[in-house]
Structure 1
Amino acid sequence: MLLLSREAIATPFLICACILGVGLIQFPRLQKLINSKQSASLETLEKEIKSENLRLNFLQKMPSFGYDNFIADLVYLNFLQYFGDDEVRDKTGYSLSPEYFEVILERDPRFLAAYRALSISTSLYAGMPERAIALSEKGLKSLSPSVPEKSYYVWRYKGIDELLFLGNAQAAQQSFAMAANWASNFSDAESLLIANTSQKTAEFLSRNPNSKYAQISSWSMVLNNQVDERTRKRAIRQIEALGGKVITTPEGTQKIVFPPKD
């Protein structure tokens, strides 16, 4: 009985150790890529990217033994390291971004923060809004208005991608309407604000599929998502190109001024 008890206790730890070992293997490879970026040739970097892609494919298919969230967290940390390496990304692009989220959201479709990173990295930087939208649609099948908390944001991210990067105003209208619907289930200030702004964006699009107001509102959502400096500058450029203005208030916050006509 004592032997069986020890085996029962040891087995989960062995499984966890194996998964952790696989996860830790990821870091030296990416760290090697970062450390050698000053002298590495494009050919070398592309080989590293292919190797990373193969590893992500393996992680997507390997059994999790019940540690799906753990794997998702490790891969998300790898993604942050990958995405934040500006010098290498300037050379190789961001094509691996959706591959990271294939693993992350397959393992943990309720990982809310991942959807925001998915939209920015895959739609905005990798230029693959179709992949971002498809992954969001798949993940939404596992979500509900209350699980996880603030899951209405996923509909908003999806609507932004549909409107700004695909120009699909009809699909975006439906996504913003769903965001408003889910957010309206709650009475806190943040949810009420999201419900109101999402509903207004959906109404703009219903009246005018080419609505500048709706596009400016969507870029302002990007701007307010605690994005990096490059994304912030691009959002401001797009808002100004549509006739809007971004004003910094005395309190240090940013205010969007819409053009006089839609």
Structure 2
Amino acid sequence: MLPSELRTSIRCGKHQTHTSGVCQDYVQANLVVLPKEYAFDFLLFTMRNPKSCPIVEVLEPGQFQSKYGKNSDIRTDIPLYHVYEDGQLVDKKQRIDEIWSEDLVSFLIGCSFTFESQLIKGDIPLRHIEENKNVAMYQTDIQTEKAGVFEGPMVVSMRPIPDSLVQKAAEITALFPKMHGAPVHIGDPAEIGIQDITKPDYGDFVGIRDGETPMFWACGVTPQAVALHAKIPYMLTHSPGCMFVTDWKNEEYLQEGK
């Protein structure tokens, strides 16, 4: 399926689940939408925390079409959205065009789903894709660097990787700095504040087998944890695992980085 076809399917309400493993050769992005008055502070937050919030694109106030998606609409082309008020998740919506306003500024943030196709091409198995599940995501005790009202814990995504392929997985993902890059932690989850690996804060746990090591990458769900911690008055985001899929090919991204 081409990204344009997927976006149409999402917009029509046919695809309503996560986008992990979908359109694997194309860049996927997280979404954060804020009132204009908070946009500078959030942009500064992303610059101070590039590992968890690598910027792909910032849209002008009121704009909703990404340059990376022909005829795209970030208000309707994501399977599920979260609405936060005063740091609380107050609603989940399949589209946000009916609550859109001209003072809203949209940020597209790199997503680790982008490098998954390269891991698979490198013969590194990804169980959540094999089992058609969302990736497991956890809130950690790693603190982000504050900018204005924005501060709080880093969220990470976890993938169990065969021991013999851990170094290879780290090297492949390091090629994608705008998609969270190399892992922030490898091994014992307790070292980054995860007390029960079987209970992710977002997504689905797929088990860690003998001979496998859990690997953790910074995650674009971090702004949602920040919204809860900092009690942001108003923010719209993607639902964890439900991404904006662009027309930008992974290979084009890699070529631009050289």
State TM-score, norm by structure 2.
0.21
Q: Hey, which of these two has a bigger chunk of strand by percent?
A: 2
State TM-score, norm by structure 1.
0.21
Q: Which structure ranks higher in relative contact order (CA pairs < 8 Å, sequence separation ≥ 6)?
A: 2
Q: Hey, which of these two has a bigger chunk of helix by percent?
A: 1
Structure exhibiting the larger radius of gyration computed from Cα positions: 1
